[in-house]
Amino acid sequence: MDRGMVIFVGALLTFSSSWLGLVLYPYWQLQNEQPYAKSPGDDPYPRPLAGQALAGVRVYQANGCLYCHSQQVRSEKFGNWWEDGQMKTGADIKRGWGARRTVSRDYLYDRPTMLGTMRTGPDLANVGARYAEPWQHNHTFNPRAVNSWSVMPSFAFLYAREKVVGGQKAAKALKLGREWTVDPGYRWRPTDRQWEAILAARGTAIRQAHLAGAVARVDPDSPAGRAELLEFWLTTEEEDYQVVPTTAADALVAYLLALRKGETPLPEAKE
């Protein structure tokens, strides 16, 4: 046989072996997997995403959340640490990332299936069970508004900062202090000059609001008192402006709330 033919046939065979074994065989093995219902009348699990949550997948994909977050809970036998001289296992579950391990059935309707390979941030397979909508919006808008140590990017570009019309804020407006909303994505502080100007214009109102809420306080005209006043004011909401989620942010949060993979018991996910 010609040398070229030998290489060609050999390359074909070796490669086909892995293609058949690693790709086609599991494809065939898993293609008939069905949602699970404990008894005939029950709602089957999982269900395909729909509406906003489905649109949220695109936002998650486009912004590469996958590169910091996995979506898989490893079993009770995986991930070991030492405690009181004993080796324990099951770190993922112990961290509260899911009540059980995730199995192939959990991903039946995922397009694409984003298992992930990096945990710069916590696992999100079951994050829908951990937080409610307002928390998710605040966190997505600027993670440091929730956890000062976070290195997660701010997704403020999915939110709009707009003037409040008619004196009434939108129901969806984020309830965050002005330090986070004045300059979306950053943590804002007025310069000394700005602060003087603000005090001159609205000092009385700010002081009154401060007095109403504070428990123990220092002399409001001492340097410490003025610093405290500034800190207080920064944590209050802006009066004339509000930050509202765009459709993309709503979709993303709907998707995060729908991520509940480690909850519903499945017979094959025992450990």
Partner 1 sequence: MAPTTPMTEPERERSARERRAIDSSCRVPVLYFAASAVFWLLAGSALAVIASVKLHSPYFLTGSPEFTFGRVRMAHLQAVGLGWAGMAVMAAAVWLMCRLSRVGLIYPKLLVFAGTLWNVGMVLDVLGILFGDGQSVEWLDAPRYVPPFLVAGLGIVSAWTVATFRRRRERHVYVTQWYVLAAVFWLPWLYTVAVLMIFWMPATGVVQPVVNWWFGHNYLGLWMTPVAVGAAYYIIPKVIGRPIHSYYLSILGFWSLALFYSWAGMHHLIGGPLPVWLVTASVVGSMMMFIPVIAVAINHHMTMLGSFHRLRYSPALRFTVFGAITYTAVSFQGAVESLRDFSEVAHFTHYTVAHAHLGAYGFFTMIMFGLFYYMVPRLTGREWASPGLIRVHFWSSAVGITIYFVALSIAGWWQGRMLNDPNVPFANIVRYVTPFLAIRSYIAGPLMTVGHVSFAILLTANLMGWGRQRTGGPTYFVEPATGTAGGPRELAAAGR
For residue 127, the partner it binds in ligand HEC, partner 1, none, with Cβ less than 5 to 8 A by kind, is ligand HEC
Per-residue x/- track, 96-135, partner 1 (CB under 8 A): -----xxxxxxxxxxxxxxxxxxxx-x-------------
- Contact predicate 210/233, CB 8 Å: yes
94 binds partner 1 (CB under 8 A): yes
Backbone Cα Rg of the chain: 26
Nearer to partner 1, 77 or 202 (CB): 77
Tell which positions 39-98 bind ligand HEC, by CB under 6 A.
60, 63-65, 67-69
The C-alpha atoms of residue 46 and residue 107 are separated, in whole angstroms, by 8
Question: In the set 17, 120, 222, 235, which binds ligand HEC (CB under 6 A)?
Answer: 120
152 binds partner 1 (CB under 8 A): yes
Half-sphere exposure of 157 (CA within 13 A, CB side): 3
- Contact predicate 236/209, CB 8 Å: yes
Residues in the chain: 271
- 51-62 and 247-258 helices cross at what angle (nearest 10)? 100
Question: In the set 76, 78, 122, 225, which binds ligand HEC (CB under 6 A)?
Answer: 122
Residue of minimal CB distance from ligand HEC? 121
- 133-141 and 247-258 helices cross at what angle (nearest 10)? 120
The C-alpha atoms of residue 105 and residue 125 are separated, in whole angstroms, by 13
Contact residues for 216 (Cβ-Cβ < 8 A; gap 6+): none
209 binds partner 1 (CB under 8 A): no
Per-residue x/- track, 171-190, partner 1 (CB under 8 A): --------------xx----
* DSSP letter (8 states) at residue 237: P
For residue 223, the partner it binds in ligand HEC, partner 1, none, with Cβ less than 5 to 8 A by kind, is none
Contact residues for 140 (Cβ-Cβ < 8 A; gap 6+): 155, 158, 249, 252, 253
Give which of 206, 208, 212 is closest to 231, Cα–Cα: 206
Nearer to partner 1, 26 or 213 (CB): 26
Tell which positions 44-63 bind partner 1, by CB under 8 A.
60-63
Tell which positions 127-166 bind ligand HEC, by CB under 6 A.
127, 130, 143, 146-147, 150-153, 155
For residue 79, the partner it binds in ligand HEC, partner 1, none, with Cβ less than 5 to 8 A by kind, is partner 1
Tell which positions 216-255 bind ligand HEC, by CB under 6 A.
252
- Contact predicate 141/180, CB 8 Å: yes
Interacting residues toward ligand HEC by CB under 6 A: 60, 63-65, 67-69, 120-122, 124, 127, 130, 143, 146-147, 150-153, 155, 252, 256
